[in-house]
């Protein structure tokens, strides 16, 4: 599966790592797995490492990805990217995500610092 997750219980966040071209269905399956995993219950912080993901090429795809956040009110999502193009595409997602707080980063430590800040 090109999307995998691990629970960091000590630090209270879920780390999701993506590789290659990702389909919307894979995000749906990931969210289903996380919602059914007892270790994930109550965790509202997620770090998405998308540095190895091929860029989503369309606004429609980004809008479809936003559908997965409809039941995630109050979550904080940090997205790690590896290029300016990926940053731009993540900004589209960020502008569409209205149920969660999303920030985009090139640096993992800065992403984690933001996840655990009060803002």
Distance of CA 11 to the CA centre of its chain: 17
pLDDT tens, position by position, 2-20:
889 999 877 789 999 988 8
pLDDT tens, position by position, 70-99:
555 568 889 999 999 889 888 887 887 777
* DSSP classification of residue 83: S
Find where tokens 């109550």 sit. Answer: 42
Gap between the Cα atoms of 16 and 103, Å rounded: 15
Q: Answer whether CATH 3.30.750.24 is correct for domain 3-115.
A: yes
Whole-prediction pTM: 0.77
């Amino acid at each position: 599966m090109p999307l995998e997750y691990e629970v960091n219980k000590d630090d209270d966040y879920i780390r999701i790592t993506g590789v290659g071209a990702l389909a919307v269905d894979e995000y749906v399956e990931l969210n289903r797995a996380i919602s059914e995993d007892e270790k994930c219950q109550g965790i509202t912080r997620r770090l998405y490492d998308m540095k190895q993901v091929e860029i989503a090429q369309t606004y429609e795809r980004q809008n479809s990805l936003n559908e997965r956040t409809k039941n995630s009110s109050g979550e904080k999502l940090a997205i790690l990217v590896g290029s300016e193009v990926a940053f731009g595409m993540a900004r589209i997602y960020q502008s569409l995500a209205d149920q969660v707080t999303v920030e985009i980063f090139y640096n993992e430590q800065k992403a984690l610092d933001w996840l655990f800040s009060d803002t």
